[in-house]
Chains A and B, each alone.
Chain A
């Protein structure tokens, strides 16, 4: 029960974070969306043994964490379920690729281990980039950016409504499980025999609530587009921020920056 309440609070605090007054929050959503996609594409494009080059890509999330005044610890806490899963990516690589490609002191590192770590770093960086986008941009604005990219209205409306209904569904789940546990004292969890009617009730009630929410939206002028309420006018920063970052990321990808830095100390 408390887990459901925690999940609702989590969604709402993330949404509140995205509506913050910070510099990154106020940037145009299209620039942020394109920059995130660009970052992910560049990150994914690194060869499987290019770990040093890939690590330099962390400069972007690090900068956003600093500029947007976001807590890295909080991000890790929020992504605690996803990160272990993405780290599983490539876990079998060490078994298939045993050729040593690197020596650290007396320790030979196989290609499989290196590619596994590279894949993990890629996964963590891309997940972090996604998190930074949603932590600095409300869902309505992300969908507005998608609409500016000519994605069909039906797609963005479905995304927005699902997002709105998740809380409704969770609240309904909490109510129903609370009612159940109050009448099943001492019982841990929900008995398997009760799952059917419980899920059925939850579905019916959620549909009812979702319909109510949709009616309330219609009555207040909802026509399928969420008005985000931010300035539509482009400011120089809206263009400069993504363009400068794209150039930096491209430079990090194309030039051996880590070797240059290393040579400075040798």
Chain B
């Protein structure tokens, strides 16, 4: 279990001179929490996650991860603690083979080759794709790509993982597999997704973002059962819930 927490105060961000995508967002994520970030298209979910790993500057307000403020000079430290899985796995994977891609981060952080090998073994084992180590990235299926993307960040043993729309283009079997892998990972998780069933299966807490602000924050069950709330913000109850 990790003992990392995150405090976000009055976070505001706009692309260029446009309207703010995030507008005074406040959030506290306690250690070991799994938080689902939901919201309609354009609500700012992806921007929010990308901002937390320093892919967007400048912003106003403050983001502190374990008392470390998110600034350009602290990025290396923060990125060692937080792993980010992109929505598009093709962007995440750029080396030749799965093994090489998973080894990319530990090598960049200057770990000795023995340790890199161990990290790669562990990361592949955690997502159950050790058999894909030497497979070309180009030959992976959509589900394998997603798991390989997850392994590429697990090799840095981050204390927190952020996943942007992790179930896009996954078939039911791969989706189930991903849920299992994510639930086995016992660190802080922030998952942005339209797939409310996925959030239901993986997150104890859900935050609903609308117009760059937090519109609702609470236990996943409470948010998902509030049909009026979901409908107000352009969402629908998870299918699995409506069946129950």
User: CB distance B152 to A229 under 8 Å?
Assistant: no
A220 touches B86 (CB 8 A): no
Checking B90, B100, B136, B152 against A220 with a beta-carbon cut-off of 8 angstroms, the contacting residue is: B152
Chain B residues with CB under 8 A of A230:
113
How far apart are A97's CB and chain B's nearest CB, in angstroms?
47
Instruction: Please give me the residue from chain A that is nearest to B87 by CB atom.
Output: A212
How many A-B pairs fall under 8 Å by CB?
73
Chain B positions within 8 Å of A74 at CB level: none
In whole angstroms, how far apart are the Cα atoms of A45 and B93 in the complex?
Answer: 44
Report whether B79 and A216 are in contact in the complex, using a CB–CB cutoff of 8 Å: no
* B106: min CB distance to chain A, Å: 8
Q: How far is the CA of A219 from the CA of B136 in the complex (A)?
A: 22
- Say whether A213 faces chain B, with CB atoms less than 8 Å apart: yes
Q: A209-B90, A209-B91, A229-B113 are in contact. Are A219 and B53 (CB under 8 A)?
A: yes
The residue from B50, B94, B105, B113 contacting A164, defined by CB atoms under 8 A apart: B94
Q: Does B204 contact A (CB under 8 A)?
A: no
Q: Does A146 contact B (CB under 8 A)?
A: no
Once bound together, how far apart are the Cα atoms of A215 and B51, in whole Å?
12
Which of A215, A220, A228 has the most C-beta atoms of chain B within 10 angstroms of its own C-beta? A220
For residue B84, CB closer than 8 A to chain A, the reply is yes
Residues 32-61 of chain B, each 1 if its beta carbon lies under 8 Å from chain A, else 0:
000000000000000000100101000000
Chain A interface residue count, Cβ-Cβ cutoff 8 angstroms: 27
Of B94, B100, B109, B136, most A-chain CB atoms within 10 Å? B94
Q: Are B91 and A12 in contact (CB under 8 A)?
A: no
B75-95 vs A, CB cutoff 8 Å, 1 = contact: the mask equals 010011001101010111110
> With a CB–CB cut-off of 8 A, which chain B residues contact A219?
53, 55, 79, 83-84, 153
B108 and A223 contact, CB distance less than 8 A: yes
Question: Could you tell me how many residues of chain B have their Cβ less than 8 Å away from some Cβ of chain A?
Answer: 32
Q: Could you tell me the distance between the alpha carbons of A223 and B80 in the complex, rounded to whole angstroms?
A: 13
Interface positions of B from 141 to 170, Cβ below 8 Å from A:
152-153, 156
Q: What's the least CB distance linking A49 to chain B, in Å?
A: 44
Q: Taking the nearest CB of chain A, how far is it from the CB of B96, in angstroms?
A: 5
**Of listed A167, A213, A227, residue having the most chain B CB within 10 A:** A227
Q: How far is the CA of A10 from the CA of B152 in the complex (A)?
A: 24
The 8 A-B pairs of least Cβ separation, nearest first, read A212-B91, A221-B108, A227-B107, A220-B105, A15-B96, A216-B92, A221-B109, A213-B94
18 contacts between A and B (CB under 8 A): A12-B138, A16-B96, A19-B96, A209-B91, A215-B91, A216-B91, A216-B92, A216-B94, A217-B94, A218-B79, A219-B83, A220-B108, A221-B76, A221-B108, A221-B109, A221-B156, A227-B104, A227-B108
